[in-house]
Each structure stands twice: as structure tokens, then as C-alpha cells.
Structure 1
Amino acid sequence: MGYDGVFLREGFAERLAAVTGGRGVDLVLDPVGGPIREQSLTVLAPFGRLVAYGDLGRHEQWTASVWDLWKGNRTIAGFNIGDLARRAPERIGDYLGEALRLLAAGRIRPGVTRTLPLAEAAKAHHLLETGTGRGKILLSLT
């Protein structure tokens, strides 16, 4: 799916250091926030980028030191689809159309790891809310 590895929350910084020989990684995609976001910044290689796109952990506001960014040649970027939809709704349609074209062409796969019947929607929500699910959960209508 375009990445070399996926590391779950617990102990990921230490595992990344070991796997990369201390170099760090070029990209961290962070939907969690809080302490995970702070640790993510420490595992970036020079010119690495941390992209924050959510706050699943519902943590208090965290701020990064400009000094740490500058000295380590690192960047932080943010992506908020809700804000984008408010400011430029036409772009959402363009992005969705492109994603659907890539999906139809087989160039991307959604990574569904579990399928549940619609009657078990509450179970799917529980897995998402507790962070005990892995990957994408699909609700089947059939």
C-alpha cells in the first residue's frame, strides 16, 4: 500500500529507532494526537514530515518547539477535511472523484480487515471507540 511498515502506538518510537538504525522515518501520519504526536516528532529523520490529521485521543492542545523543528530539519503539517469542506467544498469532490477512479482501476485498495453485518454496527463502533479494531471495518448490507 505504499509504505514500508506500520507501527502501533505502544512503544513505536523505540521500535522505529531499532528498525531504522537510529536514522528515523521520512513520514509519520498521526490521527491520534497528544503524547503520540509528541513522540512522532522525535522519530523523524532530517527533512521528515509529521502530518496531523485527527485527534482520536482527545488530548489537550500540544505545541511543538520551533527550535526543535529548525534544528532537526523537520516539519509538521495538518490536514482537516472538515475545514477543507467548509472553505473549498469543490476540492472535496475532486479528491473523492480521483480516489474513486484509483479504486475502480485497482491502483489502491481500501485495506478492509474486518467485515461485519449491519446488525453489528454497535460492535463496529465499540471497536473504533476503544481502539481495539485494526484496519478498516466494513459494514455489509447483505
Structure 2
Amino acid sequence: MFPRRGAGLRHGGSPEKAELAAALGYDALFARDGFADAVREATAGRGVDLVLDPVGGPVRRASLEVLAPFGRVVVYGDLGLHGDWTADVWDLWKNSRSIAGYNIGDVARRSPATIGEHLSSALSALASGVLAYDPPAMAPLAEVVEVHRSFEAGSTHGKTVLDIAGRGAV
């Protein structure tokens, strides 16, 4: 369920984010631009079994292209704010590929117990060290405009917490 050393391929939006991913021990890292060709080369044309996609848009389309037979793309966000798009069901069927979605808000509304199970699994993985923890960056409320600009530019990684009370701790 969680990334582990030697557990796959990762693409990223910047060299800095690739360095962060490398620290998690992925087998290979690719820049977003041209990653489909790089994945095909790294897998000798086979493709990958699973793509976890929080970005959307062109990345999602390219992810479909790099799937091996019976591979799947799991969509769990739209960080790129690309909006809706359609997939060609004929192409999915002919190439034995699939798309699935995971929306935490929807799961919470429909099955709160499932969210509890997922949270328990995540916290267990965190406590055992299987899941790495990167503490959030802290920013004073006075820097909210700069923080927002960083989000828009895609230059952040991990979480950022606004320190409204000025305590300097999470």
C-alpha cells in the first residue's frame, strides 16, 4: 500500500521533488515532461502495472499510455487543475487497461468505517517506519501570500501549516 525501498517508478515536476522521491527508494525517477517515453525505455517496452495519479490532465493521459496489459491508473486528485476529460473505453478494453478512482471525501460520506480502517493502516505504517514522515513546513500568518504563490507555482513539497497563533510548532 505504501512506497517502500525498491518499490517502483516515480515522476515529478521538478529536480528538487525528484530528489525527495529518490530518498524514498524508488527504482527510477522521471521528469513529467517526456516521462512516458522514459518509462517505456526503463521497462523495455513492457510498461507498468500501476500508476497512482494525483495530477491529472496530460500526466493522466500519458499514464494510460505506459500501462502494461492489465495495468491500472488510480486517480486520487487533480493537482494540475486540468478539469474533466474522457478516456476511450474502446482503447482501455482493447489494451486490457483500467482506470479507478479514490476520493477520500466520497468514501468518508459513504463509508466512514472504511476511512477509519484506512487511517488505522496508515498510522500503523507510520508507527512501524514503513511509511516515511516529512514534518510540515511552518509559516507565520504574515507570509500567507508568499505561501499561496509557492502553491500556485508548484514549488512546494509536503504540507505547509500556517502558524496563526505564532507558536512555531505543529
Give TM class, smaller chain. Answer: 0.7 to 0.9
Q: Judge conservation of contact 1:52–1:77 (CA < 8 Å) in 2.
A: yes
Residue 141 of structure 1: aligned partner? 169
Residue 5 of structure 1: aligned partner? 9
Does 2:131 correspond to 1:103? no
Q: In the alignment, which of 52, 68, 91 is matched to residue 29 of structure 1?
A: 52
User: Once the two structures are aligned, what percentage of the paired residues are identical?
Assistant: 49
Residue 70 of structure 1: aligned partner? 93
Residue 18 of structure 2: aligned partner? none
Residue 73 of structure 2: aligned partner? 50
Instruction: Compute the displacement of 1:90 (Å).
Output: 2.1
Q: Judge conservation of contact 1:17–1:43 (CA < 8 Å) in 2.
A: yes
User: TM-score normalized by structure 1?
Assistant: 0.84
Distance 1:116 1:79 in 2: 26
Instruction: Compute the displacement of 1:53 (Å).
Output: 0.6
Alignment length, in residue pairs? 139
Instruction: Compute the displacement of 1:105 (Å).
Output: 1.8
Distance 1:23 1:124 in 2: 41
Instruction: Compute the displacement of 1:43 (Å).
Output: 0.6
Q: Per the alignment, do residues 23 and 103 of structure 1 end up closer, same or farther by CA in structure 2, a change over 3 Å counting?
A: same
Farther off after superposition, 52-61 or 80-89? 52-61
SS at match of 1:7: strand
Distance 1:33 1:101 in 2: 29
Distance 1:91 1:13 in 2: 34
SS at match of 2:10: coil
Instruction: Compute the displacement of 1:127 (Å).
Output: 3.2
Farther off after superposition, 85-94 or 119-128? 119-128
User: TM-score normalized by structure 2?
Assistant: 0.71
Q: Report the residue type matching 2:169 in the other structure.
A: L
Does 2:111 correspond to 1:88? yes
Distance 2:124 2:148 in 1: 28
Measured against aligned partners, the alpha-carbon deviations of 1:34-71 in whole angstroms (never above 9, x if no partner) come to: 12111110110111110011111222321111111111
Q: Judge conservation of contact 1:124–1:137 (CA < 8 Å) in 2.
A: no
SS at match of 1:128: helix
Q: Which runs of 4+ in 1 moved over 4 A?
A: none
